[in-house]
């Protein structure tokens, strides 16, 4: 590792697998294996004591049970069942001796037709023969209908809440989302528009409902250099900063963020400059990074505060709202405990496969912003199905998340209503990256809205139904007039500008807002937004008359109706005030802020999913992103990247330093990285096919392991997985199955299908079916596992499966397929030539090693080391 730290592998068994792994800091992981080389037990240290994880498998190497044992705590268990094709159809999670059962009914194409939640709620999915989702029904009630599709997988029209809510999406010729509009009974709930550059990077995101406020993103080379959050389309007399140049005329919005990067190829931010209005509080964000860099590439100084790390590179001290927080991890780099500066603490427990199972909050006496809780999280692969509060040996359902075919981004949630103790259904408003921007009830009323900083720090607001009013009318020595509203306001977009899909800046003219009349009639003048020293941004407007107003003269100041709107779209009422002009306050109405929206520290409804649909821990202001924990204040993860340098040479960088365009569903691999991997695989697969059709041979180093058709199908399986990975992460098994049957078969001639190996039931069902393990594998791991497990011919499998035999019996009774090179493809442990795609270079052990890394739920330093180790006692990078 960087800095000379080493991981030592020793005490190898007869499979040549290490029984002891010594990590930096002299922490040891002790492993044992079953007869097939699957890890059966792993013990490792954690802050709560030694953790022992036990695993059992079936004859196909599929995980059947995984149990995590921690001292002085009940075991956390998970067991899995599979149907005849190999799909996971039952998962039982046990926490505090209480079982949580998830049952699913998969279709032959890998999609889901029914899911039964631990609470007993049944969700049915109706599909067209093509597999396209048509409707989602909960307990017999249709909660979502997909009425039209723009492409095979991109819905154009989605109807929710029995028709009360409609989502309409529009795309350009590159299949990029141009517009997303949520409406109810003719009213717009949310309307987002997007613009992109030639590199498909987002340059503008406009909130039409919010008076066209637009977030503008600019780039220098391939780096995100600046984000102007919620820029205005109205004119500003004295702009507090310069908004980036665009074809339209923009004025400063909430905050501008400018990013400066290092010049030493460390791929890290060294400074974040923020610009705000004079009277606005600066945003909570780290501004100065470094210069001190640790051996792992970790930035030791942030805003002058030292961020310590442990021997594995995990951040152990972090600045929070209450002061410095102390963090503790286990030997797999899983966050186990956070102690806040006020002595409140949060502890975390995990399943043996690495998924979060429990979070306990203990609040110190008088601690502010702390809510005691003992919460159980029930995951089904990538999908968080339910949350339960554990109370004195019993449990109370808190949240039930509802999904469609949009990966880990839910369409709705049922949350416990504390006043009625019943579950209330809500629907999500989400942007193009899957971030929750609002919740809507069954009647189509928005009950909560969320905005974010570029890195995901949320601002949650509760409903605001109060219209803005004039708070102050102030005169000045120069004869101008200051009009101060009770909350931030903007002129609304014109009716024409609210239609269509194009970014616009056509707001109602400010000249229509204010009329000033004196003894000589109406006084001409202009109105502009002002950056005032004491009044919050968006509240103060300066009216400048063509001829200065005169002291002691009487004027009627009139504000027209519906010429200004607040953050929730409430329009102002008409007002008229008779004043005697003088320097200072001439009229005082309701105070500034009296009608403004109210921001809360956490969802008042109990919603837990926010930025990019990740679980937000409001007690410590962190995102729990499955494999790692993300800090939205710094834009960095707290643990090193378990995928190594695939995303960045900076192992802590979040979203490859670009959260505007990159999505990271697991904390391991961004969506853009998956797309690039898929494009590379497609190109290499096309080259292989061309070589075969030209020469009759596949000149590939992996032929020695599988044979030509085995390799072709296995790569198809990997490509299928990456097709899903490059999308929104639906259950990975679906991608693997489609890859094995579809892409793998399509790459060869139809008259040679009988020789095709790598049937999806073996590739997906063999070891990768479970969403949790599969989703946490890097692109190479998908292919490695597919290579090992794909070894049954289509013809033989179809014949025996059609006769009703189980997958296990088929696997055991079919011999290895024909191998043109004469090398056995399965069960061999000899070394092979190093592949050009960067796959590990050994035979059967590489699949077992992959299984070790994913099955044991390794994260951080541990997981990346497991799958890459060779037959040596030391490894360093």
DSSP 760: H
Query: Are 801 and 688 in the same domain?
Result: yes
DSSP secondary structure, 377-442, as one string: EEEETTEEEEEEEEETTEEEEEEEEE--SSTT--SEEEEEETTTTEEEEEEEEE-TT--EEEEEET
Peptide bond into 291 cis (omega under 30): yes
Query: Are 676 and 589 in the same domain?
Result: no
Report pLDDT for 708.
41
Query: Are 587 and 684 in the same domain?
Result: no
Query: What's the residue count for the chain?
Result: 877
Q: Is residue 337 part of a domain?
A: no
Per the structure, the complete domain to which residue 543 belongs is given by: 470-594
The domain boundary residue, chosen from 594, 620, 643? 594
Report pLDDT for 750.
30
Closest CA to 710 of 720, 722, 719, 702: 702
How many other CB atoms sit within 10 Å of the CB of residue 75?
15
DSSP 681: H
Q: Is residue 403 part of a domain?
A: no
Query: Are 702 and 570 in the same domain?
Result: no
User: What do you get for the CA distance between the two ends of the chain, in Å?
Assistant: 4
- 62-65 contacts: CB < 8 A, separation 24 or more? 62/86, 62/765, 62/766, 62/767, 62/769, 62/770, 63/353, 63/767, 63/770, 63/773, 63/855
The b/e string for 340-358 (b: 16+ C-beta within 10 A; e otherwise) is bebebbbbbbbbbbbbbbb
**CATH code for the domain of 549:** 2.60.40.1220
Query: Are 548 and 694 in the same domain?
Result: no
**How far, in Å, are 573, 696, 709, 752 from residue 749 at the CA level?**
72, 12, 11, 5
Report pLDDT for 238.
53
How many other CB atoms sit within 10 Å of the CB of residue 241?
15
Query: Are 681 and 826 in the same domain?
Result: yes
Q: Is residue 724 part of a domain?
A: yes
d(CA 425, CA 423): 7
Query: Are 481 and 576 in the same domain?
Result: yes
pLDDT along the chain (877 residues), means of 10: 82 94 94 95 96 96 96 95 92 98 92 96 95 95 96 95 97 96 96 95 94 93 93 66 61 91 88 93 91 82 92 94 94 97 97 97 94 98 96 95 95 96 98 98 97 97 97 97 97 88 83 93 94 95 96 97 96 98 97 96 97 97 97 96 83 93 88 57 59 58 41 47 43 40 34 31 32 34 35 31 33 33 29 27 28 35 32 26
DSSP 289: B
Q: Is residue 21 part of a domain?
A: no
Query: Are 588 and 714 in the same domain?
Result: no
Q: Is residue 419 part of a domain?
A: no
Query: Are 724 and 835 in the same domain?
Result: yes
Q: Is residue 761 part of a domain?
A: yes
The domain boundary residue, chosen from 594, 616, 647? 594
What CA dihedral angle connects 420, 424, 429 and 433, to 10 degrees? Answer: 110
Q: Is residue 446 part of a domain?
A: no
Cβ–Cβ < 8 Å for 155, 169: yes
**Gyration radius (Cα) of the chain, Å:** 30
d(CA 568, CA 464): 6
Report pLDDT for 4.
74
Q: Is residue 728 part of a domain?
A: yes
Query: Are 704 and 799 in the same domain?
Result: yes
Query: Are 706 and 563 in the same domain?
Result: no
Report pLDDT for 767.
31
Tokens of 137: 């029904």
Query: Are 817 and 711 in the same domain?
Result: yes
What is the SS3 assignment for 47?
coil
The domain boundary residue, chosen from 545, 561, 594? 594
Closest CA to 485 of 393, 375, 595: 595
Into how many domains does the chain fold?
A: 2
Closest CA to 267 of 221, 229, 233: 221
């Amino acid at each position: 590792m960087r800095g000379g730290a080493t991981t030592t592998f020793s005490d190898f068994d007869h499979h040549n697998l290490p029984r002891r792994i010594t990590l930096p800091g002299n922490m040891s992981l002790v492993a044992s294996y079953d007869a097939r080389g699957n890890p059966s037990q792993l013990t490792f240290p954690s802050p709560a004591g030694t953790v022992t994880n036990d695993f059992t498998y079936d004859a196909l190497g599929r995980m059947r049970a995984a149990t995590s044992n921690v001292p002085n705590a009940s075991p956390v268990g998970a067991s899995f069942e599979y149907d005849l094709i190999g799909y996971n159809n039952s998962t039982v999670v046990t926490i505090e001796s209480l079982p949580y059962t998830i049952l699913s009914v998969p279709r032959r194409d890998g999609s889901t037709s029914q899911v039964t939640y631990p609470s007993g709620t049944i969700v049915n999915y109706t599909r067209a023969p093509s597999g396209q989702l048509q409707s989602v029904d909960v307990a017999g009630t249709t909660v979502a209908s997909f009425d039209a599709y723009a492409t095979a997988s991109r819905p154009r029209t989605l109807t929710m809440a029995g028709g009360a809510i409609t989502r309409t999406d529009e795309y350009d010729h590159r299949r990029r989302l141009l517009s997303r509009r949520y409406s109810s009974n003719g009213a717009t709930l949310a309307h987002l528009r997007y613009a992109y550059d030639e590199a498909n990077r987002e340059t503008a995101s406009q909130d039409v409902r919010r008076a066209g406020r637009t977030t503008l993103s600019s780039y220098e080379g391939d780096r995100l250099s600046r984000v102007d959050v919620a820029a205005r389309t109205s004119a500003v007399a004295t702009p507090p900063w310069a908004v980036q140049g665009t074809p339209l005329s923009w004025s400063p919005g909430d905050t501008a963020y400018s990013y400066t990067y290092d010049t030493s190829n460390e791929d890290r931010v060294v400074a974040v400059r923020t610009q705000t209005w004079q009277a606005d509080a600066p945003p909570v964000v780290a501004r100065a990074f470094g210069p001190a860099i640790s051996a792992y590439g970790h930035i030791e100084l942030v805003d002058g505060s030292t961020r310590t790390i442990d021997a594995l590179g995990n951040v152990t001290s972090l600045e929070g709202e209450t002061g410095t927080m102390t963090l503790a991890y286990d030997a797999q780099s899983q966050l186990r405990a956070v102690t806040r500066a006020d002595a409140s603490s949060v502890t975390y427990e995990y399943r043996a496969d690495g998924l979060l199972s429990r979070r306990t909050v203990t609040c110190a006496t008088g601690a502010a912003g702390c809510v005691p809780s003992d919460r159980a999280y029930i995951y089904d692969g990538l999908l968080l199905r339910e949350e339960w509060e554990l109370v004195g040996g019993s449990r109370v359902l808190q949240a039930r998340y509802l999904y469609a075919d949009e990966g880990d981004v839910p369409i709705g949630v049922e949350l416990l209503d504390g006043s009625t103790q019943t579950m209330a259904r809500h629907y999500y408003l989400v942007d193009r990256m899957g971030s929750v921007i609002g919740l809507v009830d069954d009647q189509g009323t928005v009950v909560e809205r969320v905005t974010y900083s570029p890195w995901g720090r949320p601002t949650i607001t509760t409903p605001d139904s109060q219209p803005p009013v004039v708070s102050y009318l102030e005169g000045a020595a120069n004869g101008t007039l200051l009009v101060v509203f009770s909350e931030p306001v903007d002129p609304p977009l014109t009716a024409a500008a609210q239609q269509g899909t194009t970014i616009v800046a056509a707001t109602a003219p400010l000249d229509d807002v204010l009329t000033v009349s004196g003894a000589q009639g109406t006084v001409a003048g202009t109105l502009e937004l002002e950056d005032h020293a004491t009044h919050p941004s968006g509240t103060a407007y300066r009216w400048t008359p063509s001829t200065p107003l005169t002291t002691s003269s009487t004027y009627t100041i009139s504000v027209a109706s519906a010429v200004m709107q607040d953050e929730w779209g409430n329009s102002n009422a008409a007002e008229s005030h008779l004043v005697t002009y003088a320097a200072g306050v001439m009229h005082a109405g309701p105070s500034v802020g009296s009608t403004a929206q109210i921001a809360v520290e956490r969802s008042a409804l109990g919603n837990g999913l926010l930025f990019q649909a990740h679980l937000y821990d409001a007690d410590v202001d962190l995102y729990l992103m499955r494999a790692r924990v993300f800090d939205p204040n710094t834009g960095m993860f707290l643990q090193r990247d378990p995928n190594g340098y695939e995303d960045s040479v900076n192992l802590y960088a979040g979203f490859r330093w670009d959260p505007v365009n990159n999505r990271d569903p697991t904390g391991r691999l961004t969506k853009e990285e998956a797309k690039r991997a898929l494009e590379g695989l497609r190109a290499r697969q096309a080259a292989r096919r061309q070589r075969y059709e030209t020469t009759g041979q596949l000149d590939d180093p992996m032929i020695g392991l599988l044979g030509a058709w085995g390799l072709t199908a296995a790569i198809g399986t990997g490509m299928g997985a990456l097709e899903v990975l490059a999308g929104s992460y639906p259950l990975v098994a679906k991608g693997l199955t489609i890859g094995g049957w579809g892409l793998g078969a399509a790459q060869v001639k139809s008259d040679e299908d009988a020789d095709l190996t790598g049937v999806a039931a073996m590739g997906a069902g063999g070891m990768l079916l479970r969403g949790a393990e599969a989703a946490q594998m890097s692109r190479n791991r998908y292919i490695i596992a597919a290579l090992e497990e794909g070894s049954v011919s289509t013809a033989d499998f179809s014949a025996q499966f059609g006769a009703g035999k189980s997958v296990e019996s088929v696997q055991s009774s079919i011999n290895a397929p024909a191998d043109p090179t004469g090398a056995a493809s399965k069960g061999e442990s000899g070394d092979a030539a190093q592949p050009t795609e960067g796959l590990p270079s050994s035979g059967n052990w590489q699949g077992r090693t992959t299984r070790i890394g994913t099955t044991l739920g390794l994260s951080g330093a541990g997981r990346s080391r497991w799958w890459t180790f060779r037959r040596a006692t030391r490894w360093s990078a």
